[in-house]
Amino acid sequence: MKKTLFVNLILLLVMAVSVQAQMKKIPLKDFFRNPEKTGYQISPDGKHVSYLAPWENRLNIFIQKIGSKEAVRVTSAKERDIAGYFWKGNDRIVFLQDSGGDENYKLYSVDRNGSNSRLLTPAEKVRAEIVDELEENENEMLITLNQRDPKVFDVYRINLATNEMKMVAENPGNVMNWVTDHDGKLRLAVASDGVNSVLLYRESESDKFKEVFSTNFRDEVSPLFFTFDNKYIYALSNLNRDKLAVVKFDIANGKEIETLYENSDVDVSGMSYSKKRKVLTAISYVKDKRELKFLDETAENRYTKLKDKLGAYEIVITGTNKNEDKFLVRTYSDRSLGAYYFYDEKSGDFYKITDVSPWINEDDMCDMKPVQYTSRDGLTIHGYLTLPKDIDAKSLPVVINPHGGPWYRDSWGYNPEVQFLANRGYAVLQMNFRGSTGYGKVFWEASFKQWGLKMQDDISDGVEWLVKSGIADPKRVAIYGGSYGGYATLAGVTFSPELYACAVDYVGVSNMFTFLKTFPPYWEPFRKMMYEMVGDPEKDSALFVQVSPVFHTDKIKAPLFVAQGKNDPRVNINESDQMVEAMRSRGLEVEYMVKDNEGHGFRNQENRFDFYEAMEKFLEKHLK
């Protein structure tokens, strides 16, 4: 009798714990729905704020007078979210939008009250990019278009009132980037033959550009902006050093003249300045988290005041008016998308505008912990480990999540995919394998021609590290990634089939030959560089056969789920088609999801819901 009562008590306790866990299961859509309000900006006169918010399930632009509760919707996008926008003067908004994920962004403008909506760049299959907003010029701005030649971008001065455009710089065929000075004059260009980069400079717009400095692409001198006297430039440079540093560069004579800051551990990532006061304010870099080195006492004191008000959250000043006395502040953490705040420095007025995703309770989210392990050949691999909340970290099902790029890096902060997976009981490991940016030139170059080889070993070594630590159940490890992470997913189940129970490939590369044949046309100038970094289809054909997953589907043991956007301009749908066909021809288990109105990743909310719902069922089936 006592034994029966004891067993029943244990069962009741187990059921209670199970019910409690079920109660804390957060709806999938809460992770992946559009934010309530985001992308806040402030008008130059400081009288209005603008933001993106859902309308008809798409992010549209709204404008609200500061101090008022009423907002006006000024765009009516129904097919795609507004991709980006900015204020052009106090009474006009300029925004960008593509079609079906094709990344051929068109430029539009609309008045502050929602009237006078105009399509500024109507040409089809042409991509518009911003060179200079020309803040002091009410009606004009500088943009680039690849309408003359889809491979290159020419610079145009466009009149927003009349739609008239005048070419002000014709691309000779090799210019990758155009830079204006503080007066909006086009004075600097960065050209490349695919391997060597060249800085082109002119004293005035009436002069011709001339070559002043040349480097191999392995060495970097990336212009940030001109000095305030428009004589020199500030740049990120790794000349004669491993890590990117901020330098002052004598552009006319092609040489560094001062090093402002360098970090021995990581690359410097950027520098900010005050337009009004004409002073440098802060230098940023990323270790485990973003860090700042202040160059200006006013900016540092402002940041300190805001930190005192906002506590442990990371903060970013996302916008200011022309007088630089009113500020928009964004908070974030690893467990929260944070909130926007308004700060009037002159009056001291400070208040929360909105939470970005108020339906997410950060107390229910999981900590993203910086970690590191050693690769089999001795490199230190940094990453982030997110463990399910309130569960003993032993023998857990795990999702390995390599990032895209591959010349990119994962950083600390709120990641809806990671939080979703952790909420479903999975540990998630993100690693910055060799080639990830931010760790210096040597670490980056260690990835050259190592797709599927040492880069993949770094990922596999992360799995082994988790297993040896006792965190991972070796029989319940999945791999999931997008873009290059999708390639790493396919390579993982192909070249290390013993490690993974299942895999999810999201817009990933499967065939190195076809991938390099289907570049967007404007990537063509980078082809020679890609041949050095990834491989040459002719000279390295044996390597390409070796590391292309599509040629080795006979090695795959794990079930696979593939998701692809039909209009993807970067990773052509053929990459997924041929992988799925090769697997099905061998009778291997593969699920395939294609979205006809998407590109390189799913932007439309309903498509995100479909994808993650399918992923959840797939992982549940094969890992639990």
> How far apart, in whole angstroms, are the C-alpha atoms of residue 182 and residue 166?
21
8 A C-beta contact, residue 162 and residue 151: no
> How far apart, in whole angstroms, are the C-alpha atoms of residue 228 and residue 253?
18
Strands of the sheet containing 210-216, edge to edge, are: 175-180, 186-192, 196-201, 210-216
Catalytic residue flag (residue 183): no
Catalytic residue, candidates 382, 552, 600, 622: 600
> How far apart, in whole angstroms, are the C-alpha atoms of residue 621 and residue 80?
33
SS3 of 381, please? strand
Q: How far is CA 32 from CA 220, 246, 280, 283, 507, in A?
A: 37, 37, 38, 33, 18
What letter represents residue 460's amino acid? S
DSSP state of 555: G
Catalytic residue, candidates 181, 568, 576, 622: 568
> How far apart, in whole angstroms, are the C-alpha atoms of residue 94 and residue 110?
7
- Rounded to the nearest 10 degrees, the angle between the axes of helix 454-468 and helix 484-495 is 70
Q: What are the residues facing 50 on neighbouring strands? A: 41, 63
Catalytic residue flag (residue 541): no
Cβ–Cβ contacts within 10 Å for residue 220, how many? 17
Q: Which residues contact 112 (CB under 8 A, 6 or more apart)?
A: 43, 48, 63, 72, 74, 90, 91, 92, 93
Instruction: Report, in this order, helix, strand and coil percent for the chain, each rounded to 5.
Output: 25, 35, 40
249-261 core/surface letters (b: 16 or more CB in 10 A; e: else): bebeeeebeeeee
Which helix (H) or strand (E) is 539 found in, with range? none
> How far apart, in whole angstroms, are the C-alpha atoms of residue 238 and residue 198?
15
8 A C-beta contact, residue 56 and residue 78: yes
8 A C-beta contact, residue 73 and residue 79: no
Read off φ and ψ for residue 147, nearest 5 degrees. Answer: -80, -30
Q: Which residues contact 53 (CB under 8 A, 6 or more apart)?
A: 35, 36, 37, 38, 59, 60, 62
SS (H, E, C) 408-450: CCCCCCCCHHHHHHHHCCCEEEEEECCCCCCCCHHHHHCCCCC
Q: How many CA atoms lie within 13 A of 558 on its CB side?
A: 31
Cβ–Cβ contacts within 10 Å for residue 106, how many? 19
Q: In the block, which residue shows the tokens 């859902």?
A: 54
8 A C-beta contact, residue 448 and residue 533: yes
Catalytic residue flag (residue 483): yes
> How far apart, in whole angstroms, are the C-alpha atoms of residue 542 and residue 544?
5
Cβ–Cβ contacts within 10 Å for residue 320, how many? 21
> How far apart, in whole angstroms, are the C-alpha atoms of residue 242 and residue 260?
16
> How far apart, in whole angstroms, are the C-alpha atoms of residue 132 and residue 169?
14
**Distance between start and end Cα atoms, the chain:** 35
Catalytic annotation, residues:
483, 568, 600
